[in-house]
Structure 1
Amino acid sequence: MLGQLGQVFVGLADNIMVGRLGAAPLAAVSLANSILFIALSLGIGFTFAITPLIAEADGAKDLKRGRAVLEHGVLMSFILGIVLFIAMLFIQPIMKWMDQPEEVVTLAIPYFQVISLSLIPLLIFQGFKQFADGLSLTKFAMQATIVANIINVVLNYFLIYGHWFFPRLEIVGAGIGTLVSRVFMVVFFIYIFRTRKAFKPFLRKFSFANISKKMLAKIYNLGYPTALQMFFEVSIFTAVVLMAGMLGVNEQAANQIALNLASMTFMIAVGLGVTATVRVGNQKGLKNYKALRRIGFSIFLLMIVIDAFFAIGFILTKDLLPWIYIDNIEVVSIASSLIVVAGLFQLSDGFQAVVLGGLRGLQDVKKPMIITFIAYWVIGFPVCYYLGFHTSLGTSGLWYGLLISLTASAIMLIIRFHLITKKLINNDLIEHNDKM
């Protein structure tokens, strides 16, 4: 959880430190990151395929298969980073056609160019991280992100405001800080893999010459539905950012504050979702389906308890949290109302993320992909649009639409997990009885 949260803290530092420059720079960071997050969701979604595969191989004590997962996973992550970076350069002009405030777009473009380049090291890091997570060695990602955050904050201080002999680069300086911190995370993980005993068996005979179409196809078949799951969720949040921008600069800045806070708690859920993927994947490798189901529901219950605290915390501190980011009274007022809604959807958002992790451990990804599309774009988007533009709710209406879509996703996904695990247990019981 701390490893996942650390990645979002990079964005938190950027938002807080850029927010001191005013509403327009904060809105520009929001616009750039919302577009980049779509690409990032696709890339990270593909790397999530690594975790259940290595967890299953680790559960079955299959070192050869584990080494193949590492070789193919790292190569795929590197290629994805380059492809997505190039794609972002071509997509960049779209910001001028999105009916966003002109001053916001002007500020966003140079920042967007820098953070797009950071996709390459971030996805390479993500490939190493998902492999380590699958082996239950999660502390290294935590260590990498903690140090990366320190590097980012220090560089932000000098490059955003121009302290000491550094130039005042404002939001471009925040982008450079993010890029450098992500390069560090890759260097850190390469060092860890080369020096830690737990990883050395996987590096013996490691070679990209061993790449096979079969393993690439397996990772792809697991990866693309997971990538689309994340894309459907992230893209509706991006749509809300853009719709908030159509309502005004202050609305978009307030939306970014609430979104950044919700993203931090969501990454706690993603971290626990990785736990679900690993533990469910281990039991799948052992073919112990009763334990698999018990472990899955135990993790889901833990997520509900954690998110209940987050929900209460958001609602109680709604008038205090926005001041951390900005001192504009109108932005703070709008953000406070959005934080209340963010508090309400904590349970649904965290729960559906962890259940998706459990289903990923079962290597069940295609039906959940369809479920998330229905929840976010068939149910959620029309509600967001109607409440945001055809009622007096405004930006709060957009977020009530998110609440409805996340709740629909959570309900459908837990039904899916229940049905699959019951079927696995029943089939295993029938097979056992036939052998008797």
Structure 2
Amino acid sequence: MFQNYTKEFAYNLRLSYPVILGMLGHTFVAFADNIMVGQLGTAELAAVSLGNSFVFVAMSLGIGFSTAITPLVAEADGAKDQAAGKSALKHGLVLCTVLGLSLFGLIQVCKPLIHHMEQPPEVVELALPYLDLVAFSLVPLIIFQAFKQFSEGLSQTKYPMYATILANAVNITLNYLLIFGSFGFPKLGIVGAAVGTLVSRVIMVAYIWYLLKRKKKFESYVTQFNFKKIEKKVMRKIISLGFPSALQMFFEVAIFTAAIWLSGVLGKNAQAANQIALNLSSMTFMVGMGLSVAAMVRVGNQKGLRNHKDLKRIAESIFFLTLILEVVFAAIFLVGRHWFPTIYLDVGDIANQADNTEVIIVAAKLLLVAAFFQISDGLQVVVLGALRGLQDVKIPTLITFIAYWLIGFPISYYLGLHTDLESTGIWIGLLSGLTASAVMLYLRFNFLTKKYINQ
């Protein structure tokens, strides 16, 4: 019985590990940013958190939209229809470029709201110049996503990983030079971190295009686009899949953003502690995200082949593998919860010792809750990936809205701001929302696959 699932583990990991490493790369850069910025002080760390909170909400919409490209390319690949695969990429690139520019504009329009959110004034002042540059870096990031999702749809998960590794090396180097003013470079503080992010994302787009163009197998896909000929039917297909996927990602990212803002109401130390716990959790979440792509591609392929029994078995093998890995991560969080926060701060800084000690104590409590939500978070994103592979997006969007905003957020708000639990209460709300999402999405997947098998 178990062998039916475990025999798929090796292939699932082979398909997902480049995605995991690529996504971990993004998170590792945020990790490096946070460690470098944390050396400047807790206000700077909180400012990066506040600035990124705006960008993450916009980014979730862009990345969510781009995920529509993967199942369309995977299905075209399964059906050996190269023209449909190229068309999905071309139309996806147009949409992602327009979306990136629109989201940058939207952040500029929403920026004044930052003054009315009851955030610490010193944090707001630091966050604004950082936000401008990081917001513009959304444009190349979302264009990169179109290439990434296309590449993954063809089960070629290594190229986005290579581009991300190069971008990370550029980002960390520029961060070191510009945050601290090393080797004669100007000392720009957290604005230096934003410059590093922008430059590295431009390089990332150029490099993935170069990698794909160089391979004979993909050259015809990524060259000689006729952008004058845009088909409404293909655009509608991508939008009909992409818009609900964008909303799913938006509902989840928005509740984590709400956690950042609620923490800001509690003060800069609560916000800094929240940023540490969030950054650590996002690293393990990337493993779930990578397996989610494997689920989306493999389910999309089986859908193209109309092989529904294997579709269900393969998807459940990925769910099972995710559960095992997330339990391991939960154990690591439990054991290391007091030590991990000390990596982010200058513990020997006597002037800020009281602030740093408070941040470490609060972050350790948050990591206790985060240990348990590893499991729910990993499972919900992988089941969501399988549902995207089935091109089922509308009901899952409703499920994510109910889980995060009708269950999770009210709990976070009440326990965080109206009880003594404070920061821990905010995270108990996040745990509740993720668990509700995982359970309801799995019930949806089970219902659909049984229906397909019995047809």
Q: 1:245 aligns with which of 247, 258, 264?
A: 264
**2:344 corresponds to 1:325:** yes
Whole-angstrom CA distance in 2 between matches of 1:401 and 1:86: 31
Q: 1:341 aligns with which of 369, 391, 394?
A: 369
**2:222 corresponds to 1:195:** no
SS of match in other structure, 2:169: helix
| C-alpha displacement of 1:76 | 1.0
| C-alpha displacement of 1:346 | 0.4
Gaps of 5+ in 1: 428-436
Instruction: Give the total of aligned pairs.
Output: 427
Q: Equivalent residue for 1:353? A: 381
| C-alpha displacement of 1:203 | 3.7
**RMSD of aligned alpha carbons:** 0.9
Whole-angstrom CA distance in 1 between matches of 2:305 and 2:225: 26
Matches for 1:42-191 after TM superposition, within 5 Å: 42-191=61-210
Whole-angstrom CA distance in 1 between matches of 2:196 and 2:288: 26
Q: 1:257 aligns with which of 261, 265, 276?
A: 276
Whole-angstrom CA distance in 2 between matches of 1:314 and 1:203: 42
Whole-angstrom CA distance in 2 between matches of 1:176 and 1:220: 32
Whole-angstrom CA distance in 2 between matches of 1:205 and 1:126: 20
Give CA-to-partner distance per residue, 1:200-233, whole Å, 9 cap, x none. Answer: 2324653212310000000000000000001101
Q: Equivalent residue for 2:253? A: 234
Q: 1:27 aligns with which of 24, 38, 46?
A: 46
| C-alpha displacement of 1:45 | 0.2
SS of match in other structure, 2:183: coil
**2:388 corresponds to 1:369:** no
Give CA-to-partner distance per residue, 1:310-363, whole Å, 9 cap, x none. Answer: 100011000110011113111111111101111110000000000000000000
Q: Structure 2-normalised TM-score?
A: 0.93
Q: Equivalent residue for 1:304? A: 323
Moved more, 87-96 or 403-412: 87-96
| C-alpha displacement of 1:197 | 1.9
SS of match in other structure, 2:217: coil
| C-alpha displacement of 1:386 | 1.2
The 3 A distance-change label for structure 1 pair 206 and 317 is same
Give CA-to-partner distance per residue, 1:161-192, whole Å, 9 cap, x none. Answer: 01112111000000000111111100101101
Q: 1:219 aligns with which of 232, 238, 256?
A: 238
Whole-angstrom CA distance in 1 between matches of 2:326 and 2:217: 33
Q: 1:287 aligns with which of 288, 300, 306?
A: 306
Contact 2:155 2:297 in 1 (8 A): yes
Give CA-to-partner distance per residue, 1:38-77, whole Å, 9 cap, x none. Answer: 0000000000000000000000111111111011011111
The 3 A distance-change label for structure 1 pair 203 and 25 is closer
Gaps of 5+ in 2: 1-19, 348-355
**2:411 corresponds to 1:383:** yes
| C-alpha displacement of 1:198 | 2.4
Whole-angstrom CA distance in 2 between matches of 1:313 and 1:204: 46
One-letter identity of the residue aligned with 2:436: A
**2:434 corresponds to 1:406:** yes
Whole-angstrom CA distance in 2 between matches of 1:223 and 1:94: 28
Q: Equivalent pairs: percent with the same residue?
A: 57
Q: Structure 1-normalised TM-score?
A: 0.97
SS of match in other structure, 2:379: helix
| C-alpha displacement of 1:266 | 1.0
